[in-house]
Structure 1
Amino acid sequence: MEPSSSADQDGPIVQVEPRAAPDLHRMVAFRPLGWVARYLALLAPLACTVSAAPPDDHRVVIYYQTGGGSSNHVSLLPLIQAESTISVTHVLIAALHVIDDDGGLHLNDNPPNDPTFDTMWSEAAQLQAAGVKVMCMVGGAAAGSYSRLDGDDASFEKYYGPLHDLIGAHNLQGLDLDVEENFSLNGVIRLIDRLKADFGSDFIITLAPVAAALTEGGGNLSGFSYFDLEAQRGSSIAFYNAQFYFGWGNAGSASDYESIVDDGFAANRVVMGILSNPANGNGFVDLDSEAPVLQELVTENGNFGGVANWEYFNSLPGGTAAPYQWASWMAQHMVAAKKMARREISTSEALWRGVRKLGRRVRREAKKSYHNYIA
């Protein structure tokens, strides 16, 4: 999903320069005491925090990668302190990689418990205390994490163990599985089932497919069918952060999102993932063009799933000076659209959507026939 700023990060498209910031004090003492100690220690800063995070009825999801380290830290605290209301619902720290050394995990270029991340983890705890869900994204464009988790039982236990320990150490409330390599259906089901068994029914599991993978016969980077996964484990998946960029979906029109709904995924299951800045890759849609798309999607789908951004540090309209403004802009536009009269789909639009759906099914069957022919 994410653009890369170094060899170990996993973005496939562009390099973006993080905002420089003074090195902040490291809160090393918090780690060995666990998340309870962090909460207690942070009660004083929270005294100035604004109103609690909104209920999960309009998701505003932020991916946070650039700026997580102490040398170039981009603070998350404005998301809960800079404005009168909290707009963000989920913050997804990116990107965890399952590896063969350094304890089995890297968060971008370093182990997750490297001191460079101390400030980030303490800020994440403050967001959680304010009601924001904090998760980690696993995988992305750098291959290897899911192939390591797709082996026999002994191999799975080896690579799953460090992931399990990290979740507990930082009180993560969920994982976002960004599978951009071949991963078997049985493998993703085993991972989902294990996470639910170990962390309970409230543990949030999301996936981040390219938008096309949620349509009949569409392109897919994951190696398994999301239709099959939804049929077998949909009850264990909170929602899908679909990527509407890099050519896999167009966020500048409602049609690609509507295609996903027409093909069977409920609108409340699908978050529309968009680029937050043209520097972050191909497929950026400016906010003036995005506004009517959001209005159409919300008024036609009362249970519209929400929006996600790639990525936080330079999000417009505020840019690097005020990236938190993206969340409030999105929340305000969705709330305003919900107050409008429900828009019914016209007969001609419904007919055209039916034609497009038929075309996607033909494409799906053609792909199946081709694979059977060459098998």
Structure 2
Amino acid sequence: MLGSALPLSHTPALDSFFPFRFITNMEARNQTAVSEFLLLGLTEDPDLQPILFVLFLSMYLVTILGNLLIILAISSDPHLHTPMYFFLANLSLTDICLSSSTIPKMLVNILTQNKSITYTACLTQVCFVLVFGGLENCLLAVMAYDRYVAICHPLRYTVIMNPWLCGLLMLFSLLVSLVDGLLHTLMVLRLSFCTALEIPHFFCELAQIIKLACSDIFVDNIVIYVVACLFGGVPVSGIIFSYVHIVSSVLRMPSAEGKHKAFSTCGSHLSVVSLFYGTAFGVYISSAVSDSPRKTAMASVMYTVVPQLMNSFVYGLRNKDMKEALRKLLSGRAVL
């Protein structure tokens, strides 16, 4: 009689065979199936929305146009078919992809006055930002190695930086970036979300999404810190190593003209490296000292928008070969 009074699903004997049964049911009741997030953007002031739209649209168009010109100039000029400009063309393509991962959705949300982004689109954006951001990180390290070989081993440059090695370095950088992006995206997929699904940002940033989870995020945070140390520390160490040897080799050069020429070939790359890592470090500091998510979002513009905008100007204006190639390209288009 006692057994018949208890429902089958609550029979103690059965509970011992299905220990996770009620945990699963409890989780199902307490967690909500996520269909969309809300991107709060940089400000909620309606008067500032048109200004932000025009500003970011202009920055996006200049980024696309500038980097496309770099790619076309390198492709059209046989003199620029060297490892240095091969990596520069891939850097410009990466800048286009990274900017296209964040800005268009922001512009659409401002234009339609709709802050929503679907769960799938949000995770896709997270993945793309991580992949292309990581690829830019790797490319800057590869370009530093290229300058190291060119200055420290000039007679063996063409032998060391052969097409096979350049393609392998590019493929390895892409593979590592894909693994990094997919790893973090899959880690987010295992999280559950409850109610507060508002992201105080203009794009789906990994750290902001993890903060919204109502499940345990300890493992996710450990993975983020470990991968960040590896994925950030190794390229930065490679860049520092390369430039320590570059400076040492340049200082040993007897002629002032040789020193100037050697430093001039590294000037553009150093400017891009300083811009990329300087803005990223600034965002990290601002997020550490500021309690305002909106201020952190404003600071994030400095590493997701500004470097990609400025890279084409840095290489287009500081590099003599690039200026000549761009002049030929634009004059050729004018003639056509």
Structure with the larger strand share: 1
Which structure: larger Rg?
A: 2
The structure whose residues are more often helix, as a share, is 2
Whose relative contact order is higher, 1 or 2, with alpha carbons under 8 Å and at least 6 apart?
A: 2
Task: Give the TM-score normalised by the residue count of structure 2.
Answer: 0.22
TM-score (norm 1): 0.21
